Amino acid sequence: MNNHQGFSFVETILTVSILFLLFGTLLPMANQMMFNLAEKKVALHVAIAKNQAATLIKNGQLSGEIFLDNVSYSWQWTDPTMCVRYVFLGESTESCETF
């Protein structure tokens, strides 16, 4: 409802509250989606590192380091177990699998 002086105070408060409600629900959801995608990307990189490590193990190498997206994934093979170490969000993490 326009009047000759512009928008009324009630319309302004209603518009601002709708914007706060809209962004207050969308931004946390978008942030959570981005975090989930980052976790899945790291899990994919760990799987790629394990796949490349398996090829190198066949050639006789027992440990190594692979860089994917400027992140170091170091792997080590001890007979039944392969472990991949990496840093995700400033926290050192290890993913081990037994074969």
pLDDT of residue 4: 66
Q: For residue 66, give the nearest of 38, 97, 45, 82 by alpha carbon.
A: 45
Q: How far is CA 65 from CA 5, 52, 72, 77, 88, in A?
A: 68, 10, 7, 12, 16
The contacts of residue 5 (CB under 8 Å, 6+ apart) are none
Whether residue 6 is predicted with pLDDT greater than 90 in this model: the reply is no
Q: What is the spatial distance between Cα 96 and Cα 32, in angstroms, rounded to a whole number?
A: 26
54 is written with which tokens? 């398996």
* pTM, to two decimals: 0.75
